[in-house]
């Protein structure tokens, strides 16, 4: 849908995506590939006369969702130890502690992206790279930040295996969600068993009547007998969790859609305004932000918000997080991170909805979604007081290319990226009018 005026920028953005996916390849958080792409985007800023700023930060890539296989391994170990604990009852206590610790880590780090457990995992150095474009007179009243993340995800094996069902979406969904759902049930069931057994035997050691009644009951003997079979089943389920994220960096996602498109579009927008200063909104500063380590739990955007909480870079700022613009039938504004319990800016939400309508964009997702899993870089910015929202064109289901090595530029077109470019220009124009009316 790109117009003739903007077609050049759309094609350049697609070229950047191709370079990221095909020449650089996987870019795991804190990896050399991520650094290479960040340096590449910094070099692109230099080419148009904008001095890039690099801000490094420490990241523990496996402390968040990247460490999900650890939960599966814990579940396998606990399943195996159940057979020993049936005869060595004191083992239940250590198993219960390990299981509870694993659940606390899952909830806090993997689901809620807290950094509390980062110190227990290997650290790497990641980086944010950004550049700013001031108005011709150097005076600005507000800032528009456009961001994409430079890193890619570990290859999600179950999603990748669904490639064989790419023409049968229902089977693909079952192949992905079925394995993960079964594995999750098995893990939490195993932890629940260890905690329950530990509580019963602790009560018995303390001579509590209820615990002694349970141990003497027929139902407990039946349950204890079932534990000769159930751990074998739970071990299989936990194995699905353990194999979720492929540890081999050579198999990691190439990140064409997620998220070379976001970085490329952010850059092309700032380049457009650099080359057309008359098109810039009045008194507006534009910032192109390349965030590192989003896939490690939003660590780059967290670091950026923390670094600039006391300066004017995020004061009176609008933030458009661009994350995956590739699926032509799924243009949408992401208005909330459900897992992070964070609602994004309603003004920006409406601007995107109005733009979709004006450009005649029809979406199978209705043009507006909640982020169903994980989180996006709008959450740390929103919590820092910035008006933020996430823009995407991505099938929200766990399709075969999401977080897998099948995420390549050949799967989508420069035209779709160009439509994203047009959407962003229109929304920025609406932000400018909003600020003018406010003044």
Q: Per residue in 11-37, pLDDT tens?
A: 999 999 999 999 999 999 999 999 999
Q: What is the pLDDT of residue 395?
A: 92
Closest CA to 407 of 128, 10, 75, 22: 22
Closest CA to 128 of 145, 104, 140, 108: 145
Q: What is the pLDDT of residue 253?
A: 97
Q: What is the pLDDT of residues 268-282, one digit of tens each?
A: 999 999 999 999 999
Q: What is the pLDDT of residues 155-175, one digit of tens each?
A: 999 999 889 888 887 888 888
Angle 99-102-105 (CA atoms, 0-180°, nearest 5)? Answer: 150
Q: What is the pLDDT of residue 277?
A: 94
Q: What is the pLDDT of residue 166?
A: 84
**CA 424 → CA 141, 176, 257, 324, distances in Å?**
20, 33, 17, 13
How far separated are the first and last CA of the chain, in Å rounded?
A: 33
In this prediction, residue 439 has a pLDDT band, given cuts at 50, 70 and 90, of: low
Q: How many other C-beta atoms are found inside a 10 Å radius of the C-beta of residue 52?
A: 18
What letters, b where the CB count within 10 A reaches 16 and e where it falls short, cover 3-27?
A: eeebeebbbbbbebbbbbbeebbbb
Q: What is the pLDDT of residue 171?
A: 84
DSSP lists the bridge partners of residue 59 as 124
Q: Is pLDDT of 1 > 80?
A: no
Architecture of the domain spanning 4-58+125-154+249-438:
3-Layer(aba) Sandwich (3.40)
In this prediction, residue 152 has a pLDDT band, given cuts at 50, 70 and 90, of: very high
Q: Is pLDDT of 296 > 80?
A: yes
**CA 25 → CA 32, 157, 244, 251, 350, distances in Å?**
11, 18, 20, 10, 36
Q: Is pLDDT of 214 > 60?
A: yes
Q: What is the pLDDT of residue 175?
A: 81
Q: What is the pLDDT of residues 81-95, one digit of tens each?
A: 999 999 999 999 999
Residue 90 in tokens? 């004191």
Q: What is the pLDDT of residues 39-94, one digit of tens each?
A: 999 999 999 999 999 999 999 999 998 999 999 999 999 999 999 999 999 999 99
Distance, CA of 260 to CA of 150 (rounded, Å): 7
Q: Is pLDDT of 418 > 90?
A: yes
Q: What is the pLDDT of residue 169?
A: 78
Answer for the pair 285, 134: CB distance below 8 angstroms, yes or no: yes
In this prediction, residue 6 has a pLDDT band, given cuts at 50, 70 and 90, of: confident
Q: What is the pLDDT of residue 3?
A: 63
Q: What is the pLDDT of residue 144?
A: 98
DSSP lists the bridge partners of residue 190 as none
């Amino acid at each position: 849908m790109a117009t003739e005026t903007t077609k050049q920028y759309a094609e350049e953005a697609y070229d950047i995506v191709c370079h990221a996916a095909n020449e650089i390849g996987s870019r795991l958080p804190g990896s050399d590939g991520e650094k290479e792409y960040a340096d590449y985007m910094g070099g692109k800023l230099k080419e148009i006369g904008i001095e890039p700023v690099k801000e490094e930060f420490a990241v523990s890539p496996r402390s968040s969702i990247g460490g999900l296989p650890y939960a599966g391994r814990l579940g396998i170990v606990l399943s195996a130890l159940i057979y020993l604990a049936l005869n060595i009852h004191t083992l239940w206590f250590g198993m219960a502690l390990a299981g509870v610790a694993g659940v606390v880590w899952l909830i806090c780090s993997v689901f809620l992206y807290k950094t509390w457990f980062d110190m227990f995992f290997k650290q790497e150095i990641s980086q944010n790279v950004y550049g700013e474009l001031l108005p011709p007179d150097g005076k600005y009243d507000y800032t528009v930040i456009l961001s994409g993340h430079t890193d890619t995800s570990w290859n999600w094996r179950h999603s990748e295996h669904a490639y064989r069902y790419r023409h049968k979406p229902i089977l693909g969904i079952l192949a992905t969600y079925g394995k993960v759902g079964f594995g999750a049930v098995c893990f939490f069931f195993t932890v629940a068993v260890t905690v329950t057994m530990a509580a019963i035997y602790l009560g018995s050691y303390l001579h509590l009547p209820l615990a002694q009644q349970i141990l003497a009951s027929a139902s407990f003997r039946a349950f204890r007998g079932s534990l000769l079979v159930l751990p074998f089943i739970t071990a299989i389920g936990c194995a699905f969790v353990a194999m979720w994220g492929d540890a081999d960096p050579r198999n990691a996602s190439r990140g064409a859609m997620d998220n070379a498109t976001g970085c490329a579009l952010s850059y092309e927008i700032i380049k457009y305004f650099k080359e057309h200063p008359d098109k810039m909104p009045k008194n507006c500063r534009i910032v192109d932000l390349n965030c590192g380590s989003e896939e490690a739990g939003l660590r780059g955007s967290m670091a950026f918000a923390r670094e600039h909480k006391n300066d004017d870079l995020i004061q009176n700022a609008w933030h458009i997080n661009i994350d995956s613009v590739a699926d032509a039938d799924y243009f949408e504004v992401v208005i909330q991170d459900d897992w992070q319990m964070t609602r994004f800016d309603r003004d920006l939400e409406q601007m995107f909805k109005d733009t979709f309508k004006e450009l005649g964009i029809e979406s199978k997702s209705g043009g507006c979604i909640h982020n169903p899993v994980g989180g996006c870089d709008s959450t740390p910015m929103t919590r820092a007081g910035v008006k933020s929202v996430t823009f995407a064109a991505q099938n929200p289901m766990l399709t075969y290319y999401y977080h897998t090595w099948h995420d390549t530029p050949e799967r989508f077109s420069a035209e779709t990226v160009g439509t994203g470019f047009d959407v962003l220009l229109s929304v920025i124009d609406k932000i400018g009018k909003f600020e003018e009316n406010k003044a």
